[in-house]
Amino acid sequence: MLIKVVNPNTTWSMTALIGQCARAVSSPGTVIDAVSPTMGPASIESHIDEALCVSGILEQIALGEEQGADGYVIACFGDPGLDAAREATSGPVVGIAEAAMHAATFLGRGFSVVTTVGRTTGRAWDLADRYGFARQCRGVHACEIPVLELETDPDARTIITEACRRAASQDGSDTIVLGCAGMADLRAHIEREIGRPVVDGVAAATTTVQSLVTMGLRTGSAAPSHVRENT
């Protein structure tokens, strides 16, 4: 099975990290191909970034279709281009916010999201609403570390860990959801520190796609947008 994990930004060190975290949870027979678009924003921290990275995601999916990829992960917590990607391939496509929020709901009644910068929190709420988790999402918290400083700021691990601890306590949440693909390698550390389950979306989305492919499930090719007659 070939799963393409698309990091929609063009920062290759982050793509490498994402690939590593995806491989750590995939089955023996699964090949993980972690890629970035050839061009696009270096990080996704605004709605403009989200919009501008979609053509790069579609480009990678087109490549994946040629390679015979079985499914796709969109490895940015804003889940950019998810609807478009599902039209571009019948293989399952899963976003990391989507997968992480879903996984969190299996572990307790409520979760809190801890994300990078404050301007991305609105998007996280929008996604929780869209996926049906307005009730389960108890809070979205920024630790105010820009995406590209996650790797370089020596205090990043401590700051994020403390933000997670505070979020869980303030919101009374059972679970923490990490709000950026760039935090994927911190999961186990934070979980040990705060004593509550911590979900990383890269791992969650990778295993979700792997499961859907194993079950033979594909996005309905005839069915991207049916009529709901009545709400």
| Residue ranges in 15-34 that form contacts with a copy of itself under rule CB under 8 A | 25, 27-29
Among 134, 144, 152, 189, binds a copy of itself (CB under 8 A): 134
In this structure, the number of other CB atoms found within 10 A of the CB of residue 191 comes to: 18
Q: Does 185 bind a copy of itself (CB under 8 A)?
A: no
Strand-pair partners of 142: 115
| Under rule CB under 8 A, residue 11 binds a copy of itself | no
**109 belongs to the binding site for a copy of itself (CB under 8 A):** yes
Binding mask 34-73 for a copy of itself (x = CB under 8 A): ------------xxx-xxx-xx--x---------------
Place of tokens 């970034």: 49
Report residue 99 CA to chain centroid gap. Answer: 7
Which is closer to a copy of itself, CB of 10 or CB of 121? 121
Stretch that binds a copy of itself, among 5-13, 31-39, 96-104, 148-156 (CB under 8 A): 96-104
The residue among 5 and 203 lying less far from a copy of itself, judged by its C-beta, is 203
8 Å CB contact between 71 and 209:
yes
Taking CB under 8 A as the criterion, the residue among 87, 149, 153, 162 binding a copy of itself is 87
Among the residue ranges 6-14, 31-39, 132-140, 149-157, the one whose residues contact a copy of itself (CB under 8 A) = 132-140
3-state SS of 159-208 is HHHHHHHHHHHHHCCCEEEECCHHHHHHHHHHHHHHCCCEECHHHHHHHH
What spatial distance separates the first Cα and last Cα of the chain, rounded to whole Å?
A: 38
Is residue 77 a contact point for a copy of itself (CB under 8 A)?
A: no
Q: Identify residue 35 by its one-letter amino acid code.
A: V
The DSSP line for 3-32 is EEEE-SS--HHHHHHHHHHHHHHS-TTPEE
Toward a copy of itself, which CB reaches closer, 103 or 180?
103
Among 9, 43, 120, 161, binds a copy of itself (CB under 8 A): 120
| Of the residues 70, 79, 185, 191, which one makes contact with a copy of itself according to CB under 8 A | 191
Give the C-alpha separation, 209 to 201, whole Å: 12
Q: How far is the CA of 206 from the CAs of 73, 81, 103, 151, 194, in angstroms? A: 6, 17, 12, 22, 25
CB of 202 to a copy of itself, least distance (A): 10
- Considering the complex, what minimum distance in angstroms separates the CB of residue 30 from a copy of itself? 9
Q: C-beta of 119: minimal distance to a copy of itself in Å?
A: 4
Say whether residue 1 binds a copy of itself (CB under 8 A).
no
